[in-house]
Structures are given as C-alpha cells and as structure tokens.
Structure 1
Amino acid sequence: METPTSPTPLPDRLREGLARIAAVMRSDDWRRAQELGVNPTQLAVLQCLEGRRDGMRVGDIASVLGVSQPTATDSIATLVAKQLVEKRIDSGDGRSVRVFLTPTGQAATQAPSATPGAAEAVLQALPGDDQEQMLDLLVDLIRRLQERGAIPIQRMCASCRHFRPCAHADAARPHHCAFVDAAFGQQDLRIECRDHEAADPATRTAIWAAFDRDRPPILQAP
C-alpha cells in the first residue's frame, strides 16, 4: 500500500504524471482534428509533413508517428482523397513514392485553432523560467529515447550538424546555428526544425557533451 512515507517509485509517479498530460493533449488533438475534418492520426500525418520540402516516405512517416505502416498507409489514402496530401514518385528511387502536403493541406496545418488547447493554454501561462527549464528537460528526455532506439532521430537542435552549443560567451545567447549563422538562447532551442540535418553519431555525442557542460547541475546528465 502506498503511503506518504512509502510512495511508489519516483519514475513511476513521473510516468503517471506524463500520462495525465498526454491524455489532455490527445483530447486537444481530437478537437483540433475535428475542426479540420480529419481524425487524430491523420492530423499527426499533416503535422509531420509540415515544413518537409522533400516530403516523406510512408515508412518514415509511420516510424516518426510510432504507428504501423498499414495504419499510416490508410491515413495517407484518406488525406489524398481529401486533397490534403499528394503522392509523388521518389526522384531518388523510382520504385517508391514520397508524400507531400498540398497547398490545401499546408493551409490547414497553419490555420489558427478556433479554441486554444488546454495543454497549450497552461504552458503559455507558465513563467518564462519554468518554460525554459521544461524545454531543457524535454530535449534531454527526447535525446535519451533516441539513444535507446525508442524513437527516430528528431529534428531538434541537439541532434543537428549545424548546432554549435555554448559557442558564445553571451549567457543570454550562448548557442550558434551554422545554418543561419546566428546566435540564439536556451529558450530558442528547437524540438522540430525544418532545416534540420542529422549529425553523425560521433558528432551528436560531442554536441551533447558540450551542451551538457554549461547546463545547471540539476539538469546535467549523469
């Protein structure tokens, strides 16, 4: 029996908390999907394709979303029928196809929601320092999931070959993006960047080591 002096293990309670938040976000996704006339999986496909100038293969979409390839295929077929996405022959491999947003699909993903989601509203209300610390923790959690092979390499700064962590002495803008040749701050770290180019494993390890050195001690990796 769990008591205040004998609680369940902390990782279990963290997982429970994340599960509660995930449930709210799923509810938000259902509402947003209904506004666009799609289901949540189809909405996830549209969001996955946003900003992908070269489109994506069906298998890659399934991998990013964590669904089976048949599920992704069915969702894409429905979105094609709705003229929200289109398939094109892969220029690098004539035997396969890539999926792209249509102009209609692009407009749908960028259209403001009629009602902000509950999770979004709560996050916006958090103090800036809390938002920044949460972003840092999310980047770390995603990195660890990547290393375990639980998710594909995400298009975030910490896995990009253009990222130069802690390259500047300016505490407000310590990092550097070589793609746009500009300094930026911790609060500007991207989880999803359309200009992302995955670094090789050795470079990712070096990037994270440099990034981790200047993090607050409570946030540093063991």
Structure 2
Amino acid sequence: MDHAPQPAPVLARLREGFERIALVLRADLWSAAGEAGLNPTQAQVLALLAARPAGLRPKEIAAHLAVTAASMADTLSALERKALLRRTPDPADARAVIARLTDGGRDLGGRLASAASQVTAALAGLSANEQADLLLAQVKIIRTLQQAGAIPLQRLCVTCRHFRPHAHPGEANPHHCAFVNAAIGDRDLRLDCGEHEAADPAVQAATWTAFTG
C-alpha cells in the first residue's frame, strides 16, 4: 500500500510551531474583541479597514479573512448597526459597494490592530537580528502563499514599484523606497503598506530575484 510522503521533520515542527502561535493570537483576538463588544470577525474587519481608509469591497474583505460572502454580509450589517462602518456605492461599478469605517470605527479599528498581544511581547524578547531574520522569512512565506493563490494579494514591499532591493550595497540599510526617497533595511520591510503600488509582474519577478540574490 502506497503512503503519501511525509514532510521533513523540521518542516513538521515548524508547522506545529505556527499552529501554537496561531492559538495564542486567536485567544488575544477573542479577548480584545470581547472587551470592545465585538465578535472576532467584526474585530478583524475593523482592524483590516483601519489600514485602508479608501475601503474595500465586501468580497475583498471576505477573501482577506477567509470567510464566506454570506457571513461577511452579516458581519458588515452588524457593524453598520453599531455605526462603526458604512457601505456606499462603488464609483467604479454601480453593482458593487465599498465598505468604509466611520470615524468611530477607524478609531476602534486602530486600537484593535495595536492591542497588547502575548505574541508581540514574545517577539520583543528576540534580538534585533532575530527579529529581522524572522521578518525576512515571513516575507518569503507570504509571497509564496500569495503566488499559490492561498491568500489574497498582499501589500508587500517586494511587490511594490517603489522598492529598490540592494540599491545601497554594504550599507546598514541596503534597500531603497522611492516613494519616501529613503534607504531602508530588512527590519523596515512592510507586509502591508498603505502606499503600496503593485509593480508589473515582470518587474516583480526581477525585483524578487535581486532581493533574494
């Protein structure tokens, strides 16, 4: 009888580690949401939209949070009743709407996004080099998942048209952000940048080759 190949032991252990960290993150989310009088999905929507003042279509929010369109419709309705969110016609598509936070929703979403976390406290215990290495690993994992279609497009530095990898070789901050016209280091890389503008796919591929090389 054939058996599916088992992942290498270190890969299995890394996955187990992520699962355990995710449990703590989920518990932190439940706690912060409960204190705000929300359920976890409502809290996630507020935190997501707090970083996107232009708003998102409901289907985009659902994709980011990996929930069904029907479930997201219920969540958005609940947030509207709480006066934390409003849905307005999408100027680009008369059949669609854009969900945006009210001032109160934006304030609460910002507080939820920066709420105290046991995982954040644990990360703070890592050295500066360990933090930078972990961030680099996250960038690579997220980009791979994005390319596989497992997660929606993310606003990563490495996919942005403003990012110049290793533009300052040998310097403490080797990369360059053309948007702010400043050198940046590995610790400055963003996983979700509000100024992100997606580069052409061919440019993204060349940027990634230069970044990882």
How does the TM-score come out when normalised to structure 1? 0.88
Moved more, 50-59 or 15-24: 50-59
Which residue of 1 is the match for residue 20 of structure 2?
20
Which residue of 2 is the match for residue 135 of structure 1?
135
4+ runs deviating over 3 angstroms: 112-115
TM-superposition CA deviations, 1:54-101 (whole Å, max 9, x none):
210001111111111111111111111111111111111122100001
Alignment-mate amino acid for residue 22 of structure 1? A
Which residue of 1 is the match for residue 104 of structure 2?
104
What is the percent sequence identity of the aligned residues?
45
Would the alpha carbon gap of residues 186 and 81 (structure 1) be closer, same or farther in structure 2, given more than 3 Å must change? same
Q: 1:69-148 maps to which residues of 2 (within 5 A)?
A: 69-111=69-111, 116-148=116-148
Q: Distance in 1 between matches of 2:150 and 2:112?
A: 32
Does 1 or 2 have the higher relative contact order (CA < 8 Å, sep 6+)? 2
Contact 1:157 1:196 in 2 (8 A): yes
Contact 2:47 2:112 in 1 (8 A): no
Contact 1:90 1:98 in 2 (8 A): yes
Q: Distance in 2 between matches of 1:60 and 1:43?
A: 16
Secondary structure of the residue that 2:155 maps to in structure 1? coil
Secondary structure of the residue that 2:196 maps to in structure 1? coil
Which residue of 2 is the match for residue 163 of structure 1?
163
Q: Distance in 1 between matches of 2:158 and 2:126?
A: 24
Q: Distance in 1 between matches of 2:144 and 2:111?
A: 33
Where does the alignment leave 5 or more consecutive residues of structure 1 unmatched?
A: 1-6, 214-222
Q: Distance in 2 between matches of 1:125 and 1:81?
A: 41
How does the TM-score come out when normalised to structure 2? 0.91
Which residue of 2 is the match for residue 176 of structure 1?
176
Q: Distance in 2 between matches of 1:112 and 1:146?
A: 25
Contact 1:153 1:198 in 2 (8 A): no
TM-superposition CA deviations, 1:106-159 (whole Å, max 9, x none):
111223799722111111121111111000000000011011111111011011
Task: Compute the RMSD of aligned alpha carbons.
Answer: 1.9
Q: Distance in 2 between matches of 1:212 and 1:51?
A: 28
Where does the alignment leave 5 or more consecutive residues of structure 2 unmatched?
A: 1-6
Contact 2:53 2:101 in 1 (8 A): no
Give 1:18 deviation, angstroms. Answer: 0.6
